Structure 1
Amino acid sequence: MRLSLRQLSVSCVALTGLLAVSAHAQSAPASSSESQVKKLSKSSAPVRKKSSAGNGLSSSVLGQFTGGTEEISVTSHSVSSTGVTNRTPGGGLMPHQTAPRSQSGITRDFIAKQAPSSNITSLVADLPGVTVSSQDPFGMTGDHLQVRGLNETQMGYLFEGAPLADPINYAPYTSTLIDSENLGSVTVSQGSPDLNAPFYNAVGGQITATALNPSHKAGGFLDLGGGSYSYNKEFIRLDTGDIGNSGVRGYVSFSHTSYDNGARGPGGLLRYHLDSKFVKEWGDGNSISAIFSYNKQSATSWRSPTKAQWDQYGVGFSYDKHFTPGDSRYYKLNQQNLNQQLVVLPMHFTLADNLHLHVSPYYVHQFGPSLGGENIPASGGYFGTQQYGDLNVGTPVNGSILTSSRDPWNQKTGGLNVSADWRLSKSNTFSFGWWYAYTTHEELSDFRPVYADGSGWSGDVIRVGGKILTGYDLNFMQQVNTLFIADTQKLLNDKLTLSAGFRVAMVSRQGTNLVPGADPYKMQGNYFEPLPQFSASYMITPKDQIYINGTTSFRAPESVEAYSQIFDPNASHATMQPQSLKPEYSISEEIGYRHQGNFYNFSMSLFNINLTNHQVTSTGYIPNTNMMVASPINIGGQTSRGVQAEFGLARWHHFSPYLSGQFLHSTFDNNFNTGSGYLPTAGKIAVQAPKFTGAIGLNYDDGRFFGNFDLRYVDTQYTTFMNDEQMPAYVTSNITLGYRMKSFSYLKHPQIQLNLTNIGDNHYRSGSSYTANAHPHVTSTGAIAAGSAPVYYVGGVFAAMVSISSGF
């Protein structure tokens, strides 16, 4: 591990400062908020407010009848306008869990004290076994994470009961889903998804996020922030409160966020976001929620270095700030746009005392474009496999034309998830359900000429013979059907819970590529997978639980590129070929123990995961371009074994410490087929599988002064299948300091908050793409497998953010 003296000293100074602030605060007179905290701390068990509309989730077969975390609206039991209650052990990092599997979570007690720009992925970085590869210090871009040797595309992302990750390449795009000010809770299930969860990729587990419930009182919340690199965010939420006697309440919020890339180069990010949630409740357990979100986001692409480029340029490896003719690395030509509209309507009905129905229709529209600079031949280039003549556009430089290569992908998904719980007797419940989803995907790339003065790149597209010059003209369609049944039996005075279920998933895909010479012109994929699950849980005492489970899950091949060729005007043949990929399949076993008491929470689990047809996602540049695509690689089998644990202390003298850690041993089971022979990868350590990861958190909150400190360690990771290149271990730490004022006039609990990220300004590589080998190796046939250098994500540098917020 490379830990600089500056990194260590700054972390220690920050922690000492937090303790000093707390000591001063304890001598200050107690505010009304502090009194509320003291009253709450005397309660031996928190009083929870049930609301079926609070999470909008169908019941999970794993633990569905042992209770679960119930959401609290932002004003219930709060000591602040941000929704902090100071009731979750570990400073909001260890909420109550009952599912018979590894499961961790975060609540408003933690979320509200993080940077207001944080997304769902960046917020779960302290949880056991979770490694987040950040790219900016504000936690907005990049949803790259690893859990037990698997990445984000192998995790199921559930938001308010709907699967809202990209249904084809499985990227979660969590910054487009919700503002952190509206985020109620996040739960990470390491290793296994819910049996009834609407996924066909979740071999690594499940991440479930819920929005805050609307307040019963009319009002609102305002948050204004600024900081390093011209960072600024303006957020406002308006609550309707209960609308007459209709049983309806809701909120609407709007935010604007922007920043410059600063030390990472020219450009930056601009984001506009709208959230709304309305709830109608009546009778016993009946509710309908309506969640709407709109996101418009544009950002300069991060440039990913190889190891050699990192050693030479460090964090300064970026796109060019100034334009020169023929420069495809000009930053304005390399942009990522993430636009999304989503609607989710979770509904819950009590049809009879023993019969409950859950219905969640949803619709999501995701679209680009992505932009990358590229020089293409002015004459004699290729449209698919057909050679073209003189293009007569742009400004030729050395026989090439600089263009803006655009990928205006457009994707729409509609789905319906239905399940029912039928209590056959006091001790037995039968569950069944169906999920259907339909997705269309259109992707027609084009090229737009850039002239010598840098103009024209947003103008007319280049055409050949009246047709748009393109590298891929894709029309893709997907249908998904899943059915499940499950039965849960309680025995021994409800101490023993046995659950067994079976799910069958059916995925049908087909698409066309209209580029001249595309072979195959039409591609198809049909997958049918049976997925059994079993779990057993025993309550030794009301506070101590042991559990065991065995689960299966699968992932259909990732990305459109897995089925279609990619062409480029610089090549007479396809630069990327579709692969014959089989579905990834996992079998997981866990045994675990958790204690949840008045003073502390503790959990530990041992796990084993066996994967077949394991697909590692290698993100790389299309040859001769600045456009990156995700390419899945089948490396055969992989076995991952390990232990994870976490500990959280309830509030003690206003402090709430937290510890988490994981040991992981993950290896490849097979030699890798290069096409010309096999590389001896069997037994090698798997990529994206650090042996040790850990986090330390310390939270302080007396109702007036509050602060949060966390330190994260990630061990060395191999970035090639042959283990001939690795990414060094790294440490990062963050700190939060804040002060709440008394309510006055129309302002409720106004506060000021300072967030410092990467306080040691540690420069590090946080993640990577993966290749078979970085250096030449001899294969089983005696052929030489040429080396290919992985490219890396660069971790976010130091940044400071100040935010002022208040309810009203």
Structure 2
Amino acid sequence: MNCCVYRTLASVSLIALYAGAVKAATVSPYSKNASFSHHHVHGAQPVTAKGKSDLPDAHTARNIRPTVAQSTAAEEVTVRAALQTATGVTGATAGGGLMPQQKAAKSRSGLTRDFIAKQGPTSNPTTMIASLPGVVTGSGDPLGMSDQQMSLSVRGLTQFELGYTYEGIPAADPLNFFIFTGTTADNENIQSLSLAQGSADISAPLYNAVGGQLSETLRDPARHFGGFVNLAYGSYGLNREFVRVDTGTIGHSGIRSFVSFSYEGADNWRGSGRNTRYHVDAKAVKEWGKGSHSAFVLSYNSPTGYYLQTPSMAQWKALGTKANYASDFHKGGSSYYRFQENQRNSLILGAPTHFRLTDSISVDTTPYYNYFWGYGDGGTTLPTGYSYVGNQNTGPLQVNSQASSIIAAAIDTFHERHGGLNSAIHWKTKHNTLSVGYWYSYYTQQEHSYYAEADGQGRIASMIGDYPIYTAAGLPLSRYNINFVQQTNAIYIHDEFKAFHDRLTIEAGFKEAMVSRMSTQLVPGANYKTTANYAEPLPQFSASFQITPHDQVYINGSTAFRAPSSILTMADYFSTTTGKLAHSRATNLSPEYSIGEEIGYRHYGLVSVSAALFNYNLTNRQLNSTVYLNGVPTTASINAGGQTSRGASLELGLRPWHHFSPYLSGQYLHATIDNNLASGGDLLPTRGKIAVNTPTFSGAIGLAYDNGHMFGNFNLNYIGSQYATFMNDQKIPSYMTANVTLGYRFENYHFLKHPQIQLNLVNLGNNGYLSGASSLVGNAKATRGVYGSTIAAQTPLYYIGGGFAGVVSISSGF
């Protein structure tokens, strides 16, 4: 009590010195070194424009001095302590890091280091955002290492409709739109994550963000030399090593940087196979003048893994998590797990820069270049006496075996290159900020299929020097050889008007996005060239009013579009055993378009509240579904017509109180299909049916504790049942998942800064569940069509959510 009285008297003296009236002065006993922030009592921790906490890091906290700010009611000082950690945890964000303060006039949630640092070191952003309102995540493995078979939706709209940016760089697959969040930064380097449910920023370099925008920011390099090490071991033979070195400010250049490297390896949680991942992150920053700054960002990723089998409902009920590819070649044949290997390498480069030209004019520009390359395999059986490339019979296969058929791996290789420049100029006056921006991108993809023969031990020929398989005509056996080119031009204008001492904000903007595509298919018999062009107007409007310093209401109306995804959309595929068309290019290439409205309310204080009502109308709803061609999983696009989605979301979080920070989120969603869908020569009677991937209710409960030494997190997620068919005749049952974190931080020891030990228990008490639909179909039961014909049943396939895993990690700064 004496300490608290002393600090309170010190705060009173400071306020008296500045001629202010003290309404509150609070001290948090998190650590010995208190830091100070100026904002209203019971207000949330300030957040910068990039989503980073204004609280100091471990290097600077000890040098912070009290500051005083003038409020609209009276001058106030809040004294708040920052946790001293090497992981970036500050203990300042409501809900244990799940509810940073937001000001945008639209639904937006986020994560700070207070939550991110306490997740398992192998976690990726897709798994970390699972507790945010409207998010439905089904991880393909409990460790989060593989994001190849992971389901994600936001307000019922899938990850393929979610824009994804990394330091302002479009980081998702530019054609399939799979977000692959494991390709960007390691957990230890992610500063913040921000999720806008329903609409993307007008300046974002995206053309698929119908479902909103996930933004990831990388930590800035420290101003002093140092580093961080994290070693982790756990279930399924997991071992992971991470090391990061900060250069500090280099001489008198003003440049500071960091580079990190990590390796991780673990067995598949079900079935055979071992996943590995090599990863490098680097960033350099330079600040100059009055507010100008530039950065260079690099992320390199090289993972190798194995596809897991996606069972039907009947297989799931019969086998459960034992529905796997065979671990022995002689028992499995073409279903041998080694034929399911895949690799997706990536290199992401970017240089986000902000120029402050005058007091009223500034420019933002982000040049970037992404390169993705790799392969995906699938087992198959091939006749040796004849073969087809396209629709031409190319004679017997040139193979080592004399048998009438052989087992082989079908290998899909790809190279994707994506470069672009996103720039904007801003003119700020007393009440207005006018922005004009332009984004250009150029994207190419080369995708070619091959086959490799397996020997008697199940080793594919690429390992023994005979790759690929050739036909008697001297051609490599191939289903397709596709070259794809896309150019994107987008221009936007946006104005922000503020009035009544900045309490009222009105924003209006217009964006014209233009996408030009050309695809060529080089196998005989296929349509050689397919083109598509889109020009979509995208207006936006929003308004917000700050009722009190702690309360805000807002409304918005937004539009978005998404070009059809998948290289399958514009190309014909042929069977290599019959010469018949296995998949024909889409005839309906219309883009998905959405119009959305929201009304919301926020309150920030000791208890923070965020609530919203939303409505969306979509036309040409584009859904991605996995199809298997010669055993290889490939993404196909389905035009699901119109859809109407209405719902409500709620988010509650408590600022740290006696070291505890509870959190709660929930969403109610009612999404229906607006029209009957074509199936063969008839129509399925789907009008009014519940849309796929749309649980009526989803929610999460969290509780965080952190006293500076001992810390822990508990998060429980509930996902309601979801339909996997447009006729609503088969669905995924509801499920719950729970994660627990326990840890302890030690005092500094010699050169070790804030060492800690952390235990993560993932999916506690759950040994596997159906987490999402891999292959969507119209109907799982024979159905009478609108015109009277019988439409045959189809079989949806499902992802299996990860089982239980435990991970122990030891980390320290230096």
Correspondence list, 1:198-597, <5 A: 198-262=205-269, 264-324=270-330, 327-395=333-401, 399-423=404-428, 425-458=429-462, 459-464=466-471, 465-518=473-526, 520-580=527-587, 581-597=589-605
1:394 positional shift: 3.8
1:42 positional shift: 12
Residues 31 and 703, structure 1, Cα contact 8 Å, conserved in 2: no
Q: How far apart in 2 are the matches of 1:237 and 1:89?
A: 28
Partner secondary structure for residue 515 of structure 2 = strand
User: 69, 82, 104: which is aligned to 2:109?
Assistant: 104
Residues 563 and 579, structure 1, Cα contact 8 Å, conserved in 2: yes
Change (3 A) 1:115 1:306: same
1:35 aligns with 32
Partner secondary structure for residue 240 of structure 1 = strand
Percent identical? 47
Partner secondary structure for residue 109 of structure 1 = helix
Correspondence list, 1:118-129, <5 A: 118-129=123-134
Correspondence list, 1:617-696, <5 A: 617-622=624-629, 625-696=630-701
Give the AA of the match of 1:632. Answer: S
Task: Give CA deviations for 1:462-493 in whole Å, capped at 9, x if unaligned.
Answer: 12222211111001100000000011111222
Q: Does 1:188 align with 2:195?
A: yes
Q: Does 1:741 align with 2:746?
A: yes
User: 754, 770, 777: which is aligned to 2:783?
Assistant: 777
Residues 325 and 452, structure 1, Cα contact 8 Å, conserved in 2: no
Residues 732 and 762, structure 1, Cα contact 8 Å, conserved in 2: no
Partner secondary structure for residue 230 of structure 2 = strand
1:35 positional shift: 2.8
Q: How far apart in 2 are the matches of 1:41 and 1:793?
A: 48
Partner secondary structure for residue 332 of structure 1 = helix
Q: How far apart in 2 are the matches of 1:470 and 1:479?
A: 28
Change (3 A) 1:428 1:248: same
Partner secondary structure for residue 311 of structure 1 = helix
User: 160, 169, 181: which is aligned to 2:176?
Assistant: 169
Residues 597 and 615, structure 2, Cα contact 8 Å, conserved in 1: yes
Q: How far apart in 2 are the matches of 1:709 and 1:649?
A: 15
Higher normalized contact order (CA 8 Å, seq sep 6+, divided by chain length) = 1
Task: Give CA deviations for 1:366-389 in whole Å, capped at 9, x if unaligned.
Answer: 011111111112122321111232
Give the AA of the match of 1:333. Answer: F
Which stretch shifts more, 599-608 or 371-380?
371-380
1:76 positional shift: 5.1
1:427 positional shift: 0.3
1:607 aligns with 614
Give the AA of the match of 2:695. Answer: P
Give the AA of the match of 1:266. Answer: S
1:679 positional shift: 0.8
Q: Does 1:178 align with 2:185?
A: yes
1:43 positional shift: 9.4
Task: Give CA deviations for 1:763-797 in whole Å, capped at 9, x if unaligned.
Answer: 21001131100111111222221111111110010
Which stretch shifts more, 250-259 or 139-148?
139-148
Give the AA of the match of 1:749. Answer: H
Q: Does 1:767 align with 2:764?
A: no
Partner secondary structure for residue 746 of structure 1 = coil
Q: Does 1:750 align with 2:752?
A: no
Give the AA of the match of 1:431. Answer: S
Which stretch shifts more, 583-592 or 245-254?
245-254
Which stretch shifts more, 41-50 or 568-577?
41-50
User: 591, 607, 616: which is aligned to 2:623?
Assistant: 616
1:139 aligns with 144
Q: How far apart in 1 are the matches of 2:595 and 2:37?
A: 43
Task: Give CA deviations for 1:106-147 in whole Å, capped at 9, x if unaligned.
Answer: 000000000000111111000000011111011122242111
1:724 aligns with 729
Give the AA of the match of 2:129. Answer: V
Q: How far apart in 1 are the matches of 2:548 and 2:112?
A: 25
1:636 positional shift: 0.8
Correspondence list, 1:146-161, <5 A: 146-161=153-168
Q: How far apart in 1 are the matches of 2:436 and 2:457?
A: 63
Which stretch shifts more, 380-389 or 242-251?
380-389
1:148 positional shift: 1.1
Residues 279 and 287, structure 1, Cα contact 8 Å, conserved in 2: yes
Q: How far apart in 2 are the matches of 1:430 and 1:266?
A: 57
1:40 positional shift: 8.3
1:332 positional shift: 1.2
Residues 616 and 644, structure 2, Cα contact 8 Å, conserved in 1: yes
Aligned residues: 758
Task: Give CA deviations for 1:283-309 in whole Å, capped at 9, x if unaligned.
Answer: 111111000111110001111001011
1:361 positional shift: 0.3
Residues 45 and 101, structure 2, Cα contact 8 Å, conserved in 1: no
Q: How far apart in 2 are the matches of 1:81 and 1:69?
A: 15
Q: How far apart in 2 are the matches of 1:33 and 1:91?
A: 14
Task: Give CA deviations for 1:477-520 in whole Å, capped at 9, x if unaligned.
Answer: 000000000111112222111111100000000011001111x2
Q: How far apart in 2 are the matches of 1:85 and 1:73?
A: 8
Task: Give CA deviations for 1:248-291 in whole Å, capped at 9, x if unaligned.
Answer: 101000000010014x1100210000000100011111111000
Q: How far apart in 2 are the matches of 1:94 and 1:49?
A: 11
Residues 41 and 651, structure 1, Cα contact 8 Å, conserved in 2: no
Which stretch shifts more, 382-391 or 703-712?
382-391
1:620 positional shift: 2.3
Report the TM-score when normalising by structure 1: 0.91
Change (3 A) 1:33 1:497: closer
Give the AA of the match of 1:343. Answer: L
Residues 685 and 785, structure 2, Cα contact 8 Å, conserved in 1: yes
Give the AA of the match of 1:716. Answer: S
Residues 268 and 300, structure 1, Cα contact 8 Å, conserved in 2: yes
Give the AA of the match of 1:35. Answer: K
Residues 386 and 577, structure 2, Cα contact 8 Å, conserved in 1: no
1:71 positional shift: 8.9
Residues 31 and 708, structure 2, Cα contact 8 Å, conserved in 1: yes
Give the AA of the match of 1:562. Answer: T
Task: Give CA deviations for 1:528-562 in whole Å, capped at 9, x if unaligned.
Answer: 00110000110101110000000001000011100
Which stretch shifts more, 247-256 or 310-319?
310-319
Change (3 A) 1:139 1:76: farther
Q: How far apart in 2 are the matches of 1:322 and 1:632?
A: 34
CA-based RMSD: 2.0
Q: How far apart in 2 are the matches of 1:532 and 1:361?
A: 25
Q: How far apart in 2 are the matches of 1:76 and 1:528?
A: 49
Which stretch shifts more, 488-497 or 322-331?
322-331
Q: How far apart in 1 are the matches of 2:45 and 2:541?
A: 32
Residues 45 and 92, structure 2, Cα contact 8 Å, conserved in 1: no
Which stretch shifts more, 672-681 or 218-227?
672-681
Residues 250 and 279, structure 1, Cα contact 8 Å, conserved in 2: yes
Which ranges in structure 1 are unaligned for 5 or more consecutive residues?
1-29, 56-67
Residues 44 and 604, structure 2, Cα contact 8 Å, conserved in 1: no
